[in-house]
Structure 1
């Protein structure tokens, strides 16, 4: 009697129920993840704000690195990022004639106060104004 005689019959047919069960679990996890990602995206867009930054006349270039370091606090851990996705901010430069306005789009699930504090820490003397965000595309515009 060899050692192989005591092992159960592990043919492909015998493993089929386990494979089907594993595939069902994977599909259920992916479906749940998709639902949670869509829900998180709705929350982010629903309460989105613009933080308009008025920088002082002279800024320290090292302030940009300091701003990014403070904004890194919005990153989720890997487990939460898997289930809900990663929030992000968007920087927008608007030129109106000779003036430049820097706006930061902040999603609804991120505190605008945190972004304002990060800007104030990076560039002392700067001021910020918070307004509601516009929809990403105007009516009648297609991508």
Structure 2
């Protein structure tokens, strides 16, 4: 089962404060552990929302509204993410609890969200097979 670990933004990440070398080293070790365990599918840090763009649809069928960052609600923003493939919810929690925290930085937060699989959405074997084929195609493209 796949989970996304959403690393919430803090005032430091939103200010563009780069992590210390100590934290970079700890995160690299953590990333290596995820890879060695065979659970890491993807993961990246994100630039602050000041470099972001938000697209919203204020009215059904209406035109999209495009707004440049920064965005004010830090607690609703993310600073990075990991996509992991684990055997259980408990294993996802274990990996999230192992993530290094920046010393001296305000309290952080990680949100875990299970990713829908095709079989969670439909029992149609043709659609499930098509989804699996598309996923395999994406994996092959990413290996190039």
Bigger Rg over Cα: 1
Structure holding more helix per residue: 1
Report the TM-score when normalising by structure 1.
Answer: 0.43
Larger RCO: 1 or 2 (CA < 8 Å, sep 6+): 2
Give TM-score, length-normalised by structure 2. Answer: 0.43
Structure number with higher strand proportion: 2
